[in-house]
Amino acid sequence: MGQTYDILILGAGPAGVSAALTAHARGRSVLVLGADPMTGPLAKAPAVENYPGLAGMSGRDLLAAMLRDLERLGIPWVTGRATGVVPFAGRFMVSAEQDVYEARSLILAAGSQQRDKPLPGEAELLGRGVSWCATCDGMLYRGKRVAVLGLGGEGEKDAAFLRSIGCDVLYFDPAQAKNVKIKGTDRVTAIVIGGEEHPVEGVFVLRDTVAASALLPGLEMRDGHIAVDGDMATSVPGVFAAGDCTGRPYQIARAVGQGNIAALAADGYLKERDK
Ligand SMILES: Cc1cc2nc3c(=O)[nH]c(=O)nc-3n(C[C@H](O)[C@H](O)[C@H](O)COP(=O)(O)OP(=O)(O)OC[C@H]3O[C@@H](n4cnc5c(N)ncnc54)[C@H](O)[C@@H]3O)c2cc1C
């Protein structure tokens, strides 16, 4: 672990980039941590017609231009998937695979939470046979039979890694991983896929992202989105949220505006704490 950032922004989509630009303009040290934004929703937009001044630019080009702004201003941006947030002594420790980052405040700009609904049994058995990270937990399952649900882009690579360290791997790609149920009471005992039950000791659920609500226990949700007030403050002091993760309409203009408000509010929060 290195420096403590003033503000860590989770997500490098429009809301996250907007928050980063404003926080940087306020003189704050900022780290943007996000899964590859080119796998996010905006990259799929063929032409954006409702954002002022862009004249039908493609989502990919718009995203690339936003990311160039981070580079131009020297705002650090690391590509990675956050897997957990632990509040500790007024700070937040954010783990991303094998790295841990520390910050005094957080802005969650992780996009719509709807697509990351947990599988039946996943939340209940997390840490008791269910894992979100092959690198972090693979060794615990050496010599054991595990199922790997490759729901994101890196699933096959992670399955190969688990095999290389001696796990007996049953791999399911996104097309196969339908109608899934993870079974067990104290620990995982089996996975049911498409009506067929496979006895396993571990289940790796590998998505490109982990929903912010699952990352930070105690975060209040409303209708499947992170609950925020007018300053984009969440129920956890020092944690702000912006963009699609806070609700509809899912639109770039809203995400960018909320990112701006969240950064100003995080700056205000830090000023109050430093008085
Ligand atoms: C096909 C399509 C077309 C669209 N067209 C338009 C349009 O024309 N106009 C318009 O206004 N809107 C459009 N949208 C909606 C627009 O893309 C979203 O509203 C906008 O991208 C939201 O920005 P955001 O920053 O809130 O979230 P996102 O763009 O979703 O960015 C969030 C980022 O956080 C990352 N992330 C999530 N969890 C984690 C984690 N645990 N660790 C690390 N990173 C994480 C995600 O991978 C993602 O890159 C379209 C969407 C789609 C799917």
pLDDT at 227 over 90: yes
pLDDT of residue 5 exceeding 90:
yes
The mean of the pLDDT values for the chain is 92
pLDDT > 90 in the chain, percent: 68
SS (H, E, C) 40-67: CCHHHCCCECCCCCCCCECHHHHHHHHH
Q: Among 21, 39, 42, which residue has the most ligand 1 atoms within 8 Å of its CB, making it the best to mutate?
A: 42
Q: Give 44 Cα–ligand 1 centroid separation in angstroms.
A: 9
pLDDT at 113: 65
pLDDT score for 1? 59
On the question of pLDDT at 149 being above 70, the answer is: yes
Domain range annotation of the chain? 4-115+211-273, 118-206
Average pLDDT over residues 208-230: 85
- CATH number of this structure's domain 4-115+211-273: 3.50.50.60
Site to substitute for ligand 1 among 32, 250, 256, most atoms within 8 A of C-beta: 250
Query: Angle at CA 236, nearest 5°, toward 249 and 152?
Result: 55
pLDDT digits (tens, 9 = 90+) for 26-76: 999 999 999 888 888 899 888 998 999 998 899 999 999 999 999 999 999
pLDDT tens track for 93-110: 999 978 999 999 999 999
Question: According to CATH, what is the number of the domain 118-206?
Answer: 3.50.50.60
Closest listed residue to residue 153, CA positions, set 208, 92, 103:
208
